[in-house]
Chains A and B, each alone.
Chain A
Amino acid sequence: MRRLLPVAAAVGLLLLLAGLQPWLRFVLTIALSTGLAVLGIAMLLRAGQVSFGHALYVAAGAYAVAFARPHTGEGLLLLLLAGLVATGLGLLVGLFVTRYRDIFFGMLNLAFSMVGWSLLEKLYGLTRGTDGIRVARPTLLGFALEGAAWEWALFSAALAAALLAGALVASYLRSPAGEALGAIKTRETRLEFAGISARRVLLQAYVVSATLAGLGGAIGALATLHVTPLLAYWTHSGELVFVAILGGTGNVLGPFLGAVVFELVRVHAAAAFPDAWQMILGLVLLAIVLAAARGLVGLLDDLAVRLGWRG
Chain B
Amino acid sequence: MSGALLEARGLALAFGGVRAADGVDLEVAPGEILAIIGPNGAGKTTFLNMVTGYLRPQAGSIRFAGREIAGLPPRRIVRLGIARSFQIPQLFAEHRVIENVALHLAARDGFWAPFRPLLSPARRSEALAILDDLELAPLAEARADTLDEGARKLVDIAMALALRPRLLLMDEPTSGVAASEKHAIMDRLVAALRRASVTAVFVEHDMEVVARHADRVAVWSQGRIRAEGPPEAVLADPLVRREVIGVEGAPC
Contacts and interface: CB of A to CB of B under 8 A. Distances in A.
A102 interface: no
Given A174-B117, A175-B114, A195-B163, A190 B91 contact: yes
B40 to A, nearest CB: 23
Contacts of A190: 90-92, 159
B167 to A, nearest CB: 14
Given A174-B118, A176-B106, A176-B118, A194 B99 contact: no
Max chain B C-beta neighbours (<10 A), residue from A179, A194, A195, A197: A194
A196 B111 contact: yes
Contact of B78 (A174, A182, A193): A193
B252 interface: no
A179 B90 contact: no
A175 B116 CA distance: 5
A197 B75 contact: yes
A192 B82 CA distance: 12
Interface size class of B (residues with CB under 8 A): 20 to 34
A201 B184 CA distance: 38
Contact of A186 (B79, B83, B95): B95
Contacts of A192: 73-75, 78
B52 interface: yes
Interface string A175-188: 11111101101110
Nearest to B92: A183
A3 to B, nearest CB: 13
Contacts of B119: 174
Given A179-B99, A186-B93, A189-B90, A194 B117 contact: no
Contacts of A278: none
Interface string A224-254: 0000000000000000000000000000000
B107 interface: yes
Nearest to A175: B114
Interface size class of A (residues with CB under 8 A): 20 to 34
Max chain A C-beta neighbours (<10 A), residue from B83, B91, B99, B111: B111
Interface in B77-130: 78-79, 83-84, 90-95, 99, 102-104, 106-108, 110-119
A177 B78 contact: no
B75 A182 contact: no
Nearest to B104: A194
A176 B95 contact: no
Contact of B90 (A180, A187, A195): A187
Interface of A: 168, 171-172, 174-180, 182-183, 185-187, 189-197, 204
Interface of B: 52, 73-75, 78-79, 83-84, 90-95, 99, 102-104, 106-108, 110-119, 159, 163
